[in-house]
Amino acid sequence: MKIYLDAMGGDNAPRATVEGALEAMNLHPELQVELAGPMEQVKPVVDEVFASSAALDRLTLTDCQEVITNCESPVMAVRKKKNSAIVDGMLKLRDGQVDAFVSAGSTGAVLAGGMFRLGRIQGIERPALAPLLPNGKDYFLLIDCGANVDCRPEYLHQFAMMGKAYMQGMRGIENPRIGLVNNGAEAEKGCALTKETYPLLEGDKNLNFVGNIEAREITNDAADVIVCDGFVGNVILKFMEGVAGTLMGIIKKEIFADTRGKLGGLLAKPAFKRVKKTMDYSEVGGAPLLGVRGCVVKAHGSCNAHAIACALKQAILMHESDVVGKIEKGLVCAETETVTE
């Protein structure tokens, strides 16, 4: 399997991307990586990191002199910067030259590249970003988390179908529970968007719709797929990141407040490490861009080498699980049932 990796994506590039590529290639002997970016910046790091590694034989370097930054208009950048890793990678994924694409670069550019260079799955109007987040027992999928700020009810219905396919393929959940984020559990609660979306989800026989989910229930294993528009999803994502950081900080402060706390903290250190690992976004890797005709993973902009390696692993699993094929199949089944009715 071959994955295209944007070497200059993220705050810690290119070192984090190069080191992450090596980590993933050591864990997956069958993995080939195409690393793309300005070679005058990437090649010296590759020479250092891969100096004594046999994995170098499975690494391909592609010179892409243009880099799309977060300060640019994503759509204009994707149209003009044809020699950027994001554009080059999407085109190669479209043409079957690589099996997946991973980037920690501009979210807007990855979304625009996915839509305009790679293309959408037939029947999907808007691709969505969908990260896995901890819920105390395992993980739930939050879709959308920022790709589509303004949505229509049919978009959210499609998000639910894509989320179902992803959780079936990636997490092995046969019939994922679908929940709709709202300010109340009752069907009549919410804004115009959620009120119009509710009957679409409830009426879809292919979805295991469990109803509206209030914010306090999101991390309480209330559903496997949490559906919302991109604005709400991004607020939920950033709030969870902030709360997790604050709680860890408070716990650390109280542990070191006195001798008794220090002793207790020493005994509980293994448990704290497990909690930290569960809450660490780098263990998941990134958010898949669902709805495009290929396996695309958007890693966190501030990710480290381990997070890049996990993002590459996520891309491998997406490809092996045929998530794109499952989404297409689900849409065909839904259309067939609609015609029959």
Closest alpha carbon to 77 in 116, 42, 124: 116
Rg (CA), the chain: 21
Please tell me what DSSP assigns to residue 180: E
Q: Is 47 exposed, middle or buried (0-12, 13-18, 19+ CB in 10 A)?
A: exposed
| pTM > 0.85: yes or no | yes
Taken in order of first residue, the domains within the chain and their CATH numbers are: 1-124+291-321 (3.40.718.10), 125-283 (3.40.718.10)
Tell me the DSSP string of 63-96.
Answer: E--B---TTS-HHHHHHH-TTBHHHHHHHHHHTT
Tens-level pLDDT at each residue, the chain (341 residues): 999 999 999 999 999 999 999 999 999 999 999 999 999 999 999 999 999 899 999 999 999 999 999 889 999 999 999 999 999 999 999 999 999 999 999 999 999 999 999 999 998 999 999 999 988 788 999 999 989 999 999 999 999 999 999 999 889 999 999 999 999 989 889 999 999 999 999 999 999 999 999 999 999 999 999 999 999 999 999 898 888 888 888 988 988 888 888 888 888 888 878 777 766 666 677 899 999 999 999 998 888 999 999 999 999 999 999 999 988 887 766 655 554 45
Expressed in angstroms, the distance from the first to the final Cα of the chain is 42
Output the CA angle 152-91-42, nearest 5 degrees. 115
